[in-house]
């Protein structure tokens, strides 16, 4: 690291980044103060698994995500929030889990996702700036590039995952935006994201608070109609969370 920092000081390199498959290691980098971006493996399947570096294990065939797993692994969720807070950009790799997610027989969820849905999942994690997509054929490149003009319905990974035979996202906000529109005009996914970012800390971080304050609609404007809850595929108690968010941020 000293060598890399020297090179940066001398202007040989402009920015410092690193790559990892392990959320605990990546979190150390995010907290280091000099790693500016992290290349990290993110997809809905990996997100359920505890920290590890063994990609073969992560990609192994026949692996089922059983009921013992509950939602996004805490270390992974913490990493994404930490990166957002520390302004460390994440570039996603393995967004398609090596293509496994395109095949219901190989997907741990028992349903297939499209490249557009996988890209949308990756890009809606806190801290994520971009995704690098793997491909074998020109058609696969076209399918990924289609993200640029895809409709909201095409991007919707939430209803696919929520109806899958195997998943464990119950009660957890994935920031999918499926609950739109809010009767009070709130950006529910973004408010939930800031709530998660802030509530993991003993005190609300100033950066998160300032981002929250920039939102046009604040959680306190929620009228508790729960229309959003009927549209949330993961059963998130949105109205209750809006109350907690208003308490946490004071508006």
Q: Which residues bind ligand SF4 (CB under 6 A)?
A: 158, 173-179, 182-184, 186, 188-189, 192, 222-228, 232, 234, 236, 238-239, 242
Closer residue to ligand SF4, CB minimum distance, 101 or 242:
242
Q: Which is nearer to ligand SF4, 210 or 230 (CB)?
A: 230
As measured in angstroms, the least distance from the Cβ of 183 to ligand SF4 is 4
Residue for token pair 């968010």: 245
Q: Please identify, using beta-carbon distances, which residue of 29 and 176 lies nearer to ligand SF4.
A: 176
175: left (phi over 0), alpha (psi -120 to 50) or beta: left
Q: Which is nearer to ligand SF4, 90 or 236 (CB)?
A: 236
Rounded to a whole number of angstroms, the minimum distance from the CB of residue 231 to ligand SF4 is 6
CB of 246 to ligand SF4, least distance (A): 10
Strand partners, 13: none
Q: Which is nearer to ligand SF4, 30 or 238 (CB)?
A: 238
Q: Say how many CA atoms lie within 13 Å of 242 toward its Cβ.
A: 22
Rounded to 5 degrees, φ, ψ at 157 are -85, -20
Q: 3-state secondary structure string, 67-119? A: CCCCCCCHHHHHHHHHHHHHCCEEEEECCCHHHHHHCCCCCCCCCCCCHHHHH
Name the minimum Å distance from CB 233 to ligand SF4: 6
At its nearest, how many Å lie between ligand SF4 and the CB of residue 130?
A: 21
CA triple 112-196-194, angle to 5 deg: 100
Question: Given the DSSP bridges, would you call strands 17-20 and 89-93 parallel, antiparallel or unpaired?
Answer: unpaired
């Amino acid at each position: 690291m000293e060598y890399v920092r020297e090179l940066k000081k001398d202007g040989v390199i402009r920015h410092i980044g690193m790559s990892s498959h392990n959320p605990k290691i990546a979190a150390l980098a995010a907290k280091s103060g000099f790693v500016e971006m992290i290349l990290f493996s993110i997809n809905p399947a990996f997100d359920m698994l505890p920290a590890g570096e063994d990609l073969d294990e992560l990609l192994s065939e026949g692996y089922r995500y059983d009921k013992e797993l509950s939602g996004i692994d805490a270390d992974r969720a913490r990493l994404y929030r930490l990166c957002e807070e520390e302004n460390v950009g994440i570039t996603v790799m393995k967004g398609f889990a090596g293509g496994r997610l395109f095949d219901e027989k190989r997907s741990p969820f028992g349903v297939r996702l499209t490249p557009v849905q996988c890209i949308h999942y990756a890009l809606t994690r806190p801290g994520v700036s971009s995704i690098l997509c793997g491909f074998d054929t020109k058609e696969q490149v076209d399918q990924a590039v289609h993200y640029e003009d895809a409709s909201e319905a095409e991007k919707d990974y939430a209803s696919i995952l929520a109806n899958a035979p195997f998943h464990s996202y119950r009660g957890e906000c994935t920031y999918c935006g499926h609950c739109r529109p809010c009767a009070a005009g709130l950006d529910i996914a973004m408010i939930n994201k800031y709530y998660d970012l802030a509530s993991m800390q003993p005190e609300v971080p100033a950066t998160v608070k300032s981002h929250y304050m920039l939102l046009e609609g604040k959680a306190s404007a929620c009228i508790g109609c729960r229309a959003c809850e009927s549209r949330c595929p993961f059963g998130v108690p949105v109205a209750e969370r809006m109350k907690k968010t208003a308490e946490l941020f004071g508006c």
